[in-house]
Amino acid sequence: MVTVSSVNVGSPAEKAGIRVDDIILTIDGHQINDVLDYRFYITEPHIEFQIHRGPELLTVAVDKEEYEDPGLEFETYLMDEKQRCRNACIFCFIDQMPKGCRESLYFKDDDDRLSFLQGNYITTTNLSDDEIDRICRMHLSPINISVHTTNPELRVFMMKNKNAGKVMSIMRRFADAGITMNGQIVLCKDINDGKELQRSMEDLQSLYPAMQSVSIVPCGLTAHRENLYHIEPFTPEDCRAVIKQIESFSSKCYKKYGSRIFFAADEFYLKGGVKLHKASYYEGYPQYENGVGMVACMYDELPYEIKQLDCDLSGRKATLITGEAAYTVICDLAEMVNKKTGAELSVKMIKNNFFGGGVTVSGLVVGADIAEQCKGADLGEGVFIPTVMLRHGEDVFLDDMTVPELSDKLGVPVYPVPSDATAATEIVEKLRIKN
């Protein structure tokens, strides 16, 4: 059961007489426990709510268009608490966070509802049989799964959870129910790579076409791994070997299924000094959010964005901020903008002192590192940062510094721009408006 926190004015629910603080017990006789139950059962044009209102038990009929939202709001998006992760993975990035960050950054979610609704990855270790049955019954698809390894014993060891070894049987249940999945393997050197990676790829390809794609990404290692399991970083030579292994297997999949299924993260290519593939290789970027194909997408779309630029920005100076991994890519973007518009964009690569270790991606660069490493530099008329450095929908870095605070420290405006090729257009537009 869930409690109504507000009723939209003029909505079907308001017209039917549903009120704030009404407790919804069932919809058309089906018990409502969370957002998935609610969304699944409100699609019909005529639905009946069983409601507790104080001591009264009421039945309220709501008439609406098919799939129309009745117009009810609830205290939380999920209508209850997020499900916490119950694992203690040896590679968990959150366990490697420095102390003193905002509390929300240390929260580990492992919620199947967020996998379906927002694309989050889940481990399946906290799924009960009833929850698995509900996913199959409601056909909640796709589901994104952090696999890491299909070896039951190794997965239990890596995730420190006795339920971790059941992942293949759970994924087979999903596949048999017609649920599509995307997988992720966080690769740890000398642990789940080599022969274990080969085993995992062979097992996962047996689930195709239900298992649509799998990303293989390197384990992120910070300088804050006190009392954690020792994991060696991948060397450039290791990265090249990983790429060779994945591409060899994915080529066989492509010949057999018409899909590569398995993709190595861009980070492996960048660190290994291996030329990245063109956009067509990535089959529509199913693993884009996991850092697979981002560089290819940038280079594929950048010529179009540059072609649209039509203004003279001669003598206009600004600075683009990036992490170490994407430095050459952002330098290419700046060069193309400069050549087309006459602007003088420079690129500043930020070393990640906050997290330390081998963290080189732009998404983990913090405000304090930018402020320190840009101190006293000629930044021109402004600084442009990729939005991936900020908390989603906000202007806050991971170290809690805000964009206005960084601007004050640098003495110039700071502009967040997209992390893709459209950044070129937004950078030029910002400079043009200031002209």
Q: What is the pLDDT of residues 244-283, one digit of tens each?
A: 999 999 999 999 999 999 999 999 999 999 999 999 999 9
Domains and CATH numbers, the chain: 2-74 (2.30.42.10), 94-292 (3.80.30.10), 298-434 (3.40.50)
What are the tens digits of pLDDT across the range 193-221? 999 999 999 999 999 999 999 999 999 99
Helices 422-434, 327-341: axis angle to 10 degrees equals 50
102-158 confidence digits (pLDDT tens): 666 666 776 666 666 667 888 999 899 998 998 998 898 999 999 999 999 999 999
pLDDT band at 160 (very low <50, low <70, confident <90, very high): very high
Rounded-to-integer distance, Cα 317 and Cα 16, Å: 60
How far from 38 is each of 47, 96, 113, 435, CA to CA, in Å? Answer: 11, 37, 12, 52
Res 86: pLDDT: 87
Residue 77 has pLDDT above 80, yes or no: no
pLDDT at 79: 65
User: Which pLDDT value is given to residue 424?
Assistant: 96
Which tokens hold the place of 418? 């997209």
Distance CA 313, CA 302 (A): 19
Count Cβ atoms below 10 Å from residue 293 Cβ, excluding itself.
Answer: 25
pTM reported for the whole predicted model: 0.85
Q: Strands 2-7 and 23-27: what pairing?
A: antiparallel
Place of tokens 């059961």: 1
Phi, psi for 306 (deg, rounded to 5):
-65, -40
pLDDT tens-digit profile of 312-371? 999 999 999 999 999 999 999 999 999 999 999 999 999 999 999 889 999 999 999 999
How large a percentage of the chain has pLDDT more than 90? 80
* pLDDT bracket for residue 434 (50, 70, 90): low
How far does the chain reach from its first CA to its final CA, in angstroms?
57
pLDDT at 117: 63
Q: What is the pLDDT of residues 18-53, one digit of tens each?
A: 999 999 999 999 988 888 888 889 999 999 999 999
